Amino acid sequence: MKERLEQIKAEALKQIEASDALEKLNEVRVNFLGKKGELTAVMKGMKDIAPEDRPKFGQLVNETRAEIERVLETSVKKMERSVREAKLKKEVIDVTLPAKKNNVGHRHPNTIALEEVERIFIGMGYEVVEGPEVERDYYNFEALNIPADHPAKDEQDTFYISGDILLRTQTSSTQVHEMEKGKLPIRMIAPGRVFRSDEVDATHSPSFHQIEGLVIDRNITFADLKGTLAQFAKELFGEDTKVKFRPHHFPFTEPSAEMDVTCFKCGGTGCRFCKGEGWIEILGCGMVHPHVLEMSGIDPEQYTGFAFGVGLERIALLKYEIDDMRLLYENDIRFLKQF
Ligand code: DAH
């Protein structure tokens, strides 16, 4: 029996020695010390031993068990330590590495320009409103004095959803929505996206943005239009900016004009930026046509008004001296970050 115990111990220690993982050490524990293990089996043979030898035998079994346990425990501790060390080594953090850059978003030049325009008009007591991008022919054309056979319709060739429903070609449609509300006076600007079936080039895009303006009250005259837009130009392009109105035609205003501002690069003497003109065209405007007022239920004998429409991209391009509109839509972060 004594030899058998020696044998078991030797075999256990050999297996412990050969174990290269915690699971293996656990297997050794189960195989030798467990309920169905070798030592338990030996204990079961106790009944075949003479009663007087039993205490001695029991002690021997206990000593063997203790010895195996001790060696096993030491090996487990050693194994655990080396596993932990390997793990730490793998997870080591090099604090001298350059930090990951946190890319914070940036406002688009269009957004910066729009907020500037909104700030100016809100300062003059205007309300900022929005209209639908998907529009009825009536709001985009008919109610703005552009009947079905009007040539202005060709100039603004658009995307039709059905015969009567289209993507708006101009924010002027918001004028009609505001007038139809029947609340006077009106002092509003309406920024938004517009759509035209145009080829993409440096100055055109099938989708761009406009800011519409509309003022309707008693006794509004062209002088109000002029003063307001001159003030707008000064705030947007600088105190020294002068404005000039050239007669033009828009179906929904009468009289109509285009407004130029003195080139803010050369101050009006002519340079590469204004193509030697000294002036830069900036917006369309005019006194709201009496027929337009009438169609939306406003009495032109009581009320008059002025309107204007300005291209948002045009302002952004001018203000930030960007020479190609396509850059505004490419969303190249290296470009956008500059503004
Ligand atoms: N809707 C015109 C366009 O897209 C711009 C415009 C001109 C708007 C004169 C107006 C205006 O309100 O009075 O070309």
Taking only Cα atoms into account, the Rg of the chain, rounded to an integer number of angstroms, comes to 43
Among 170, 205, 216, residue to substitute to test ligand 1 (most atoms within 8 Å of Cβ): 170
Atom of ligand 1 nearest to the CA of 175: 12
Distance separating alpha carbons of residues 172 and 233, to the nearest angstrom: 20
Q: What distance lies between CA 137 and its chain's CA centroid?
A: 32
Q: Extract the tokens encoding 286.
A: 């005019």
**pTM of the entire structure?**
0.72
- Cα→Cα distances 324→179, 196, 278, Å: 36, 18, 20
Q: Which CATH number fits domain 109-336: 3.30.70.260, 3.90.120.10, 3.40.190.10, 3.30.930.10?
A: 3.30.930.10
| Of residues 217, 243, 214, 248, the one with CA closest to residue 230 | 243
CA of 64 to the centre of ligand 1 (A): 101
Tens digits of pLDDT across the chain (339 residues)? 788 888 898 999 999 999 988 999 999 999 988 888 888 888 888 888 888 888 888 888 888 999 999 999 999 999 999 999 999 999 988 889 898 888 888 899 999 999 999 999 999 999 999 999 999 999 999 999 999 888 878 777 789 999 899 999 999 999 999 999 999 999 999 999 999 998 999 889 999 999 999 999 999 999 999 999 999 999 999 999 999 999 999 999 999 999 999 998 898 999 988 889 999 999 999 999 999 999 999 999 999 999 999 999 999 999 999 989 999 999 888 899 898
Ligand 1 atom 5, closest CA: 309
Among 308, 310, 312, 314, residue to substitute to test ligand 1 (most atoms within 8 Å of Cβ): 308
CA of 55 to the centre of ligand 1 (A): 112
DSSP label of 144? G
Residues with CB under 6 A from ligand 1: 170, 172, 212, 250, 253, 284-286, 307-309
CA of 168 to the centre of ligand 1 (A): 13
- Where does residue 222 rank: exposed (0-12), middle (13-18), buried (19+ CB within 10 A)? middle
- Residue whose tokens read 């930030």: 320
How many C-beta atoms lie closer than 10 Å to residue 168's C-beta? 26
SS3 211: strand
What's the angle, vertex CA 315, arms to CA 288 and CA 242, rounded to 5?
Answer: 70
Tell me phi and psi for residue 279, to 5 degrees.
-125, 150
Atom of ligand 1 nearest to the CA of 214: 12
CA of 154 to the centre of ligand 1 (A): 15
